[in-house]
Chains A and B, each alone.
Chain A
Amino acid sequence: MKRTATCSLVLILILSGCTRRQAAHPLPTPKAYGTLIVEVSGGKQIAGVGSKLPDPLVVQVNGADGNPVAGALVSFRCAGLVFNPPDALADSSGQVSVMVQLAGIPGSYQILAETPKSSGGTATVTSSEIALGYQQKLGKELSEKYCTVCHDPQSTPERVSNFDNLSPPAPHLFTDGNTLNPMSDADLIKIIADGGPALGKSPQTPAYRGTLTTAEIKAVVAYLRAIADPPYPVALGK
């Protein structure tokens, strides 16, 4: 009998060694409750797959009176993304700032930030962030080299925009989903390869067939699909 007991004890000990206990993640206790949560900054950022976003995502919890609520609990959720911290209490100005690391798959990620309400239930806000894979990254580099000087009205210290120097029609922003989403990949590729006149549009868009390879042109299209706002419906394009 003693041997049986010893055997089972050893067995239990061995088995208990096998289970890997997850360190319990202590959820902070909310000190106050809000009724509304809004995004302050850090949405629509672009970074490479698996990278940290350059800036934190900041959300704010407001009460019924519209004033920020300090000490409210905010949790961030999105499959595949890493949040630091995933749950936190709002600071004195009612805000929570979180560093976000994107997942390894390119695409647009919808982050859900939620805060519990005192009446039960939660208030939520969704922010989208964009992860670029190889193809979109290549497209981004090429766009910034060849395209944005005309397609982006914003000037930077390193690049003065040519947007205002063009005669009408004005170029479309690459984020202009309302215009670009309805266009097919084939049409966009044709415009880039053969210039505006290929689709009866302005000759101010030159032909890039002799400059970019087909793979590079597809990469530019993949990039502007990735940054489209409203987002490009992936399934519809295929």
Chain B
Amino acid sequence: MSLGNQFRTVARFFVGTAPRRFAAVSVLLALVSAIAPTKDLLSQWRHYQRLYVQLIRNRPDAARLKHRFKGGINQIWIPEQHVVDRCSTCHVALQEASLSDVRKQPFRPHPPMPHSLTEFGCVVCHHGQGAATTVEEAHYSTKAWEQPILPARYLESSCGQCHMDVLEGTPRLNQGRRLLARYGCAHCHAITQPDGTLVVPVDEPPSLEHVAEKTTREWIFAWIKNPQAYAASATMPNYRFSDQEAADIASFLVAQSTPSENSRKQLKNVAPSPGDDALQAGTSLYGTLFCSSCHAIQNAAGNLVGGDLAPELTRVGSKVNPDWLRRWLQTPQGYDPKTRMPRYRYDKKQIALLSSFLLSKKDDDFLANVHLPEPDQQSIARGKKLVGDYGCTACHRVNGVNPPESFAPDLSRIGSKPLFQVGFIRGMPETLPDYIAGKIRDPRAFGPALKMPTFSLTDVQVESLATALLAQTDRAVTMPPELVRSTAHAKYHPGGEPGRLMEDLRCQSCHIINGNGGDMAPDLTSEGSAVQRKWLLDFMNNPNTLRPMLIRRMPKFNLSDAEIKSLSDYMLTAYQASGFDSLALETSALNADAAARGKQLFYTKYACQSCHIVDGKKDKGYVGPTLAGVGDRLTPVWIYKWLKNPNTLSPGTLMPNPNLPDGEARDLTAFLVRLRAHPKGDKK
């Protein structure tokens, strides 16, 4: 009998008569309605919950764990954050600290974290699909669900969805955000952060409107071909231009150059003083003027020595025109009004020595093989087109080419970019973090016609940048506003005549004042309450370092007495902290007895000499500023308030808050105010 005949016989048996048909349909119905309960019974989460019960059975605190274990689907629901997370259905032990030795997932307790599970749920940080109850759907990328679990190395990006402020626990995110601003990403890409502010670039691409005064066509060519060959620390990316393209751009840039304000000015009559003596004197002047606070030079061992606020000077002698350099040292703003370089009041001799030192910093090999044909009109026209096409003017000012508008894709929501919109390269892992990192590492790999250049970044920097970009999610935008920790982007600029002087000196390139400025030097917001007038006048005249440990130091500006007076008066009036009237401290309590007690406290109880020097002969502490002569420098009220709580006067200071009782703070103040640089007897 064939298979078909057998089947027919069986079928006839079941549907032959009406009762049989009814019975068959009933049984079928019963089976069908059992499908759902069976599937539920065999579901993955029940499997894991059974395993968990087995896991805790033999542990010493089994009874407690069992009591806390809640079977069934567990869910964290936070409507205002759009969180419906069922992760704790399988990850049952997330809050069981006593299981910290368990490494087997899904039973590992959550490691310590800054938020509680019930506050934010899971997917706000980890991504993935919170509502899913199978391993596959919850963790991995499917067609319907494009947000797989975020790899652990990018996890800090999730903090960045709410926190625009700098957190100590997220070094990668912080580095990524610094790089976004430092490498000028935001010149081309608009990046609106979750608090509604735009990422503001902090690099300073120079104006090219007068570039022919500064350098040669050959140097521009070599620089465009490979910026890092000129300066290892250059942030300018490599556009991989052909020789022809680079030569055309160099021709155009030289052709469009107009005379700067500087070129019309009479150069102070300085003769470059040649000879080894001048070079040596220039080298030491470069050091004593603290140029290296901002500029770096590669030493013989190949290490960069100096700051990264301003261009590296290792081969500057191969780049700049000597006349341009002298004019620049005299008045940087006459060449580029927007430069962050202060206008130092260098005298003729200093300019001669500095320029002879800088011009000696050259590399004859750099331009040895660059031979360009004479530029013709076609070449210049091609160069102009390239400058426009590649968006050079997004960063640099160039005559005759306007800055491009919405030149590159907006990255405000890049962390939620749907995968179907992403063009992956064949063979790469098809995830968003891999795409973003890959695009930063080698943009042209995604298409030879793409314009985005290649940046000189390490793997760690790429990962950090990807971390910062992954924070730009859809979720971040829909977060309740009270959760978003914004940082104030203050636009403070000092006003009036002293304000113009402070602009001229570019004080805010290094100092923060009222929330605006660089972070290299101390915050000056409350400086007027802190220091004494006489000390301030002396310091501006000759800035001696207070912190022996620091490598970056305040340069000497050669200010005139009138300038110093104007600046000091302004700072002492405008930069006052609140609560600093003289009544805040009973000065009669600062007597000699109190000072003797204060000395004891200083040396014995609190061992302040571990970090601060009072007596240069025996104290060696190297962390905080020297306190020799502090009685001439700081006001007594400032010292007292500082000792009571340094963090309120300078948030983030290294000085730990010693939690001093009032009496001890007074005694220490009495001791410190008597530390005079030039003792003139004991003053009451």
Contacts and interface: CB of A to CB of B under 8 A. Distances in A.
Interface residues of A, number: 51
Interface in A97-114: 104-106
A203 B551 contact: no
Interface stretch (B340-348, B443-451, B591-599, B605-613): B605-613
B169 interface: yes
A210 B654 contact: no
Nearest to B550: A160
Contacts of B362: none
Nearest to B647: A211
B549 interface: yes
Contacts of A208: 656
A205 to B, nearest CB: 8
A225 interface: no
B654 A146 contact: yes
Contacts of A238: 98, 100-101
Interface in B59-99: 98
Interface stretch (A21-29, A30-38, A129-137, A176-184): A129-137
Contact of B659 (A1, A133, A197, A210): A210
Interface in A75-134: 104-106, 133-134
Contacts of A207: 656, 658-659
Interface residues of B, number: 47
A134 B113 contact: yes
B610 A165 contact: yes
B114 A145 contact: no
B112 A222 contact: yes
A40 interface: no
A142 B168 contact: yes
Which residue among B98, B151, B152, B657 has the maximum number of chain A CB atoms within 10 Å of its CB? B152
Contacts of B170: 137
B659 A51 contact: no
B500 to A, nearest CB: 34
B658 A210 contact: yes
Interface string B168-180: 1111100000000
A219 interface: yes
A133 B111 CA distance: 8
A166 B114 contact: no
Interface in B146-179: 151-156, 168-172
Given A1-B2, A134-B169, A203 B606 contact: yes
26 contacts: A1-B2, A1-B3, A50-B153, A50-B154, A50-B155, A105-B103, A134-B111, A134-B114, A135-B113, A141-B168, A141-B169, A145-B654, A150-B610, A157-B303, A157-B305, A158-B551, A162-B610, A162-B611, A164-B620, A166-B621, A167-B610, A202-B607, A207-B658, A210-B647, A210-B658, A211-B656
Given A134-B113, A197-B605, 9 more contacts: A1-B2, A3-B4, A49-B152, A49-B153, A54-B460, A159-B549, A202-B607, A234-B100, A235-B101
